[in-house]
Amino acid sequence: MVKVTMYTTITCQYCILAKRYLEQKGIEFSEVDITHDLVKSDEIVKKTGQNRTPVFVVEKDGQESYLAGFDKAKLDEMLGLNS
Binding residues (CB under 8 A) for another protein: these are: 9-17, 20, 34-36, 38, 41, 45, 49-54, 68, 72-73, 83
Q: Provide, rounded to whole angstroms, the least separation between the CB of residue 30 and another protein.
A: 19
Q: Provide, rounded to whole angstroms, the least separation between the CB of residue 62 and another protein.
A: 27
Taking alpha carbons only, the member of 21, 22, 20 closest to residue 2 is 22
14 φ, ψ (degrees, to nearest 5): -65, -30
Q: Would you say the C-alpha torsion 17, 19, 20, 21 has a positive or negative sign? A: positive
Q: Provide, rounded to whole angstroms, the least separation between the CB of residue 81 and another protein.
A: 12
